[in-house]
Amino acid sequence: MSVLKEAIEKLRETGSIGLEDLKALKLKELEALSEEIQYWCLYGNGKPEKLGKKHKEH
């Protein structure tokens, strides 16, 4: 499993993500995670089960 998918799964399960997890991401993965969170906040109404539904592998 990629680091990005692991970060999204952890965020979905716990509702938070640690700095060590963010540090492990590459810049493109960090940007993709940021976009996922923005999309989730706008269209997912903050429901954890909707996080990562539109996730694309980079």
Query: Burial of 46 by CB count in 10 Å (0-12 exposed, 13-18 middle, 19+ buried)?
Result: exposed
Q: Does residue 43 belong to any structural domain of this protein?
A: yes
Q: Does residue 36 belong to any structural domain of this protein?
A: yes
Chain-centroid distance, C-alpha 56? 11
Q: Does residue 13 belong to any structural domain of this protein?
A: yes
* Domain total of the chain: 1
Structural domain boundaries enclosing 43? 3-50
Consecutive H or E run containing 18: none
| The pTM of the whole model exceeds 0.95 | no
Q: Does residue 55 belong to any structural domain of this protein?
A: no
Q: Does residue 18 belong to any structural domain of this protein?
A: yes
What mean pLDDT comes out for the span 41-47?
75
Q: Does residue 15 belong to any structural domain of this protein?
A: yes
In the chain, the percentage of residues whose pLDDT exceeds 70 is 78
Q: Does residue 57 belong to any structural domain of this protein?
A: no
Q: Does residue 56 belong to any structural domain of this protein?
A: no
Residue 1 reports pLDDT greater than 70: no
